[in-house]
Structure 1
Amino acid sequence: MPATPEAAPAVEQHTIDHVPENERHGRVRDLFTMWFGTNIAPLPLVTGAMGVQVFHQSFWSSVAAILVGQLVGAVFMALHSAQGPQLGVPQMIQSRAQFGSVGALLIVVVAAAMYIGFFASNIILAGKSLHGLAPAVPVDAGIVLGALGSALICWVGYRLIHTLNKIATWVLGAGILVGLAVVVARGLPDGFFSAGSFTFAGWLATVSLSALWQLAFAPYVSDYSRYLPRTVRTASTFWATYWGSCLGSTLAFLAGTVIGLASPGTDDTVAGFDSAAGGFGPVVLLLFLFSVINHNALNLYGAVLSLITICQTFRPAWTPRQRARGVVSAVVLVGALLIATALSSDFVSSFVNLVLVLLVVLVPWTAINLIDFYLVHRGRYALGDLFAPDGGRYGRFNPVALTSYAIGIAVQLPFVATSLYTGPLVAPLGGADLSWLVGLLVTAPVYYVWARRMAMRGGTAVTEAETTATESASATA
């Protein structure tokens, strides 16, 4: 007899464990608002402005680069999202099927570091937004208040995150459109369309930055689709996620481009929006304060699930629940606050370089995970083995995935362009960072050929019956 869906509790009880079918809920269209709403935030605004501020592109060349990067990058993050309803586990747990229970820790640690970096940078933006609204409130106090707001959302969990992003889709979407309309109505500066110029290297760099914004969601995007019923069509999950994330982030990136040219005298894009919008500026800051707190809850949620995954690897009998999420959230909160208050003066620029380096090690993971799910195992995994002490049929280490992963990192290094490290092939390309594209194009075929060969020798193939039996056992438990 099929399980009957139960009413979802207000406070999420699950963490990294499998969500049984009788606890699945929600609609596919919730994924559109989830990813549209969360992308209307100051950080994509700041990132979008870099096309004209850092790479000195003209308005139209920056717009074209942003569109190309978003349309391409969102493909990968949406493919990850479509895994959620089929498996019902967080993305980092599912990675054990490719890398092994211990081998996957390499990816989980990198993902956790990236989430904490995102969280710290966003609470700095929250502090500055609150200080802009109420100058009597110090930036550090604003940082603490913004962090506490995100922590509360994270503690309540999945349902509240989705609900807030439904609100954010309409409120923040309308707010940023009205704000842009006010900026244009007040008059764009002379030379708005003639400032900057197209350079192939700068254009490619802007494309990469736009695509990498989408790729940064890949390690946790399926965490927000895993409660949907397994009967949801993969294509529906993909397109709802794709257009929600693509349209939301494109709107924020393009707004950053407009503000970057409309306020050429300031490097602070959020402050530039406040100034350019005149009397509507305080409304923009208020909306951004809400958006930062809302968006940042995802970073804290992802960091917490990653850290719990690390701990559970060494304590496989442990089934962490809501209390564990609260405790780990508090630990991450304290650490991020120390980082943010100590480095608030110049954290965002340093953070961008750090994330670009971290993405070098996440890009080959994306290729391996997607190839394995869609072409090797075709979505069929023994879910119980993902939590087995010895990794079950997936083992503790998978040399095929780990070697392919190392190759994927190695081929990227000559093409990396950051202030922390610049590869030898960057100069011939005019300074463009194409490491992510090279990593995807090399890692995917290497892993596919190797993994298929091992599968034909009797590797880790799972039948539909085994998958169903695992889920039924979980639902009964």
Structure 2
Amino acid sequence: MSEAAYQEKVLEVEPYGIEPIPREERHGRARQMFTIWFAINLNVVTWFTGFLGIEFGLSLKHAILAIIIGNLLGAAFLGLTSAVGPIAGQPLIPASKRAFGKIGVFGLSFLNLVNNIGWLAVNLVLAAMALQKILPLGYHSALLILTIATLLIAVYGYNFIHTFAHWMSIIIGILFIIMTVISVQNLPALLSQSAASNGEFNLGMFILAVAIAFSYQISYCPIGSDYSRYLPENTSGKKVWLASYLGALTVCIWLEILGTLTATLGMHAGPMDFFAKLMGVFTIPALITVILSIFPVNAMAIYSGGLAALAMGIPLKRWTSAIVCGGIGALLVSFGGGQLADTYKNFLLLLSYWIAPWLGVVLSDFFYYRSGLAQNSTTNGWAGITAFVIGVIVSVPFMSSVLYVGPLAEKYLGHADISYFLSLVVSALVYRVLLKFRSAAVPVKPLQFEE
């Protein structure tokens, strides 16, 4: 477009898809990245992620330490992918064509599409369960209402999502603070139960808990630049990184530690029954909080899923692809009253292993060049694909999930999962070596973020 048409308009459907955003349309400030990543993670799924350390048999202090370490590491990588947005000016996977080529981008976009649809489906089930606790609705009616409401946010696009996230970070934040106060009222009982249940330190389970927190953060990396690509090119990369890092870090550590504390209550009921027991007279406001908290993350899943579909070459407008993505997600969980969610969530845990090696390659490529990712993008992608595949293969024996436990993780690491860290480092190093043999590669000064 030769004339700016979108800019900061909130109630106008976003006209752009995966193409680089024109300079005249660039707008916004780095601090927006704090509220977007704070709001996205301010939900009940983050809370329940904190339960896992206790379920692994860790003591309260070791479960909390694992949460802190995993989030400190994972949020740093999320911040990097967000900081790339103003320079790349487009979603990160299609912008990584220089590293992966057309075929690689297609495959990675498909994985990203499946990830977004899957998490949308899982979160829709939780929201539908909460809505049914408040209103006399059938499962499918609740699902339909929530899907339509979320689609409206995603269809409007980038500016509306940022504005919505800003206000939701305030509204939902206040509600979660109230829920935190109610939960902490049980703190003496929680601490006494935890002290009574302290056992020997299990290094394998501790590393697995760290990996869970780490992988939860990097699961957003493929869409990290989706919400920063409109920022002006001269926006400070360090400020974008810091705002994204702090937004994701603070809320995840807060809610995951809260989840760890409440997990020691020993309530093994369903998630909404758990909330009813925990919140008491505050149950209805708590359930409303659960429903509201799902909207930002699901709007993001629909929006980014739609962009992933476009990156696969599917000939649709951005808003149309968002509707298709949301419809598929709702359809996935419309069968069986939501029982599909647990199975699909387990599948996603295994599928997410692709993110770490992709991240190693794309960040290695980006910081190898002074220019953005879109430059020098006519390669066939053999270097990136090879490094990615090697990273995955090397990490397989070290995987430990509900669907697969690698032989080395089982025999020598006590079911600890270090595959994420290993595949990320290996893919980055292999790609750097392969760059030296790629005739099209011209080494230049590494990119430096401006202040």
State the TM-score, normalized to the length of structure 1. Answer: 0.87
What is the CA deviation profile of residues 127-166 of structure 1, one whole-angstrom value per residue up to 9, with x for unaligned ones? 01101222x1123322222111111110011111111111
What does 1:209-224 correspond to in 2, within 5 Å?
A: 209-224=212-227
Match status 1:155 vs 2:137: no
Deviation at residue 459 of structure 1 after TM alignment: 2.4
Q: How far is 1:194 from its partner?
A: 3.1
Q: Which moved more, 1:203-212 or 1:275-284?
A: 275-284
Q: Structure 1 residue aligned with 2:202, among 199, 202, 211?
A: 199
3-state SS, counterpart of residue 51 of structure 2: helix
Matched, 1:18 2:2: no
Q: Secondary structure at the match of 1:394?
A: coil
Query: After the TM superposition, which of the residue ranges 241-250 and 3-12 deviates more from structure 2?
Result: 3-12
Counterpart for residue 390 of structure 2: 407
Cα distance, 1:270–1:255 mapped onto 2, change above 3 Å: farther
Contact map agreement 1:82 1:235 (CA 8 A) in 2: yes
**Aligned pairs (5 A) from 1:424-435:** 424-427=407-410, 428-435=412-419
Partner deviation per Cα, 1:380-418 (whole Å, 9 max, x = no partner): 3455x7xxxxxxx523x3111111111011011101112
Contact 1:161 1:297 in 2 (8 A): yes
Which structure 2 residues correspond to residues 141-152 of structure 1 after superposition, within 5 A? Answer: 141-152=141-152
Give the deviation of 1:458 after TM superposition: 4.4
**Whole-angstrom distance in 2 between the partners of 1:154 and 1:5:** 19
* Residue 331 (structure 1) shift: 2.2
The SS at the match of 1:127 is: helix
Q: Distance in 2 between matches of 1:463 and 1:181?
A: 51
RMSD: 2.3
Number of aligned pairs?
A: 439
Q: How many Å apart are 1:370 and its aligned residue?
A: 0.4
TM-score by length of 2: 0.91
User: In the alignment, does 2:329 pair up with 1:336?
Assistant: yes
Matches within 5 A, 1:305-384: 305-311=307-313, 324-374=317-367, 376-383=368-375
Q: Give structure 1 stretches of 5+ with no counterpart.
A: 386-392, 465-477
Pairwise CA distance, 1:122: 0.6
Residue 307 to residue 196, structure 1, CA distance change in 2 (3 Å):
farther
Other-structure match for 2:449: none
TM-aligned CA deviation for residue 352 of structure 1:
3.4
CA shift, 1:243, in A, is: 0.6
225-234 or 11-20, larger mean C-alpha shift: 11-20
Segments of structure 2 that go 5 or more residues without pairing to the other structure are 447-451
Corresponding residue number in structure 2 for 1:279: 281
Decide whether aligned partners of structure 1 residues 364 and 267 sit closer, same or farther in structure 2, where only a CA change above 3 A counts.
farther
Checking the alignment, whether the CA contact within 8 Å between 1:59 and 1:195 is kept in structure 2 is no
Checking the alignment, whether the CA contact within 8 Å between 2:85 and 2:229 is kept in structure 1 is yes
Distance across 2 between alignment mates of 1:149 and 1:139: 16
C-alpha separation in 1, matches of 2:444 and 2:342 = 45
Indicate if the aligned counterparts of 1:12 and 1:158 stay in contact, CA closer than 8 A. Answer: yes
Asked if the contact 1:49/1:269 (under 8 Å) is kept, the reply is: no
Kept in 2: contact 1:5–1:24 (CA 8 A): no
* Distance in 2, Cα, partners of 1:442 & 1:354: 24
CA drift at 1:112: 0.7
Q: Which of 32, 50, 53 matches 1:51?
A: 53
Q: Is the Cα–Cα contact under 8 Å of residues 120 and 329 in structure 2 kept in the other structure?
A: yes
1:441 aligns with 2:425: yes
Q: Deviations over 1:257-283 (max 9, x none)?
A: 122123x13243443233212222211
Residues 45 and 269, structure 1, Cα contact 8 Å, conserved in 2: no
* % identity of equivalent residues: 26
**Contact 1:304 1:325 survives alignment (8 Å):** yes
Deviation at 1:293, TM superposition (A): 1.7
Counterpart CA distance in 1 for 2:361 and 2:114 is 20
Task: Tell me if structure 2 keeps the 8 A contact 1:259–1:272.
Answer: no
Give the letter aligned to residue 334 of structure 2. T
User: Which letter does structure 2 place at the counterpart of 1:329?
Assistant: A
Contact 1:90 1:223 in 2 (8 A): yes
Q: 1:56 to 1:404 in 2, by over 3 A?
A: same
How far did residue 96 of structure 1 move? 1.1
